[in-house]
């Protein structure tokens, strides 16, 4: 939905951060701020698995409720990132 455009992880928590950034750049509401270098976007899409993605712990912590949940959410996120990187 459009209200989640800036935080696509609310739509799909397993979305790769590189792909999420590309989606936001390509769908920027202000056309002057929208990504225009199609060849660069295509290259990033072709190599999205090799691109370093930040851990984005702040986004993960926003989903947590309380200290125990924070620990669980961060560990789960790190495990998923390790799995994605090891593919």
Mark whether 30 and 3 lie in a shared domain: yes
Q: What is the pLDDT of residue 1?
A: 59
- Mean local confidence (pLDDT), 9-19: 81
Total number of domains in the chain: 2
- Least reliable range by pLDDT among 58-62, 68-72, 79-83: 58-62
Given a contact cutoff of 8 angstroms between Cβ atoms, the answer to whether 48 and 22 are in contact is yes
- Quickly list DSSP for 10-73: GT-TT--HHHHHHHHHHT-SSTTTS---HHHHHHHHHTTTTS-----HHHHHHT--SHHHHHHH
pTM exceeds 0.75, yes or no: no
Mark whether 44 and 72 lie in a shared domain: no
16-69 pLDDT, tens digit each: 888 888 888 888 888 898 888 898 889 888 887 777 666 666 666 777 777 777
Mark whether 63 and 78 lie in a shared domain: yes
Mark whether 6 and 48 lie in a shared domain: yes
Parent domain of 13: 1-52
């Amino acid at each position: 939905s459009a209200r989640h455009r800036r935080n696509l992880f609310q739509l799909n928590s397993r979305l790769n951060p590189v792909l999420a950034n590309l989606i936001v750049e390509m769908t920027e509401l202000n056309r002057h701020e929208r990504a225009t270098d199609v060849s660069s976007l295509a290259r990033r899409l072709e190599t999205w698995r090799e691109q370093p993605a930040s851990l984005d712990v702040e986004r993960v912590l926003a989903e947590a409720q309380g200290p125990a949940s924070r620990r669980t959410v961060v560990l789960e996120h790190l495990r998923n990132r390790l799995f994605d990187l090891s593919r």
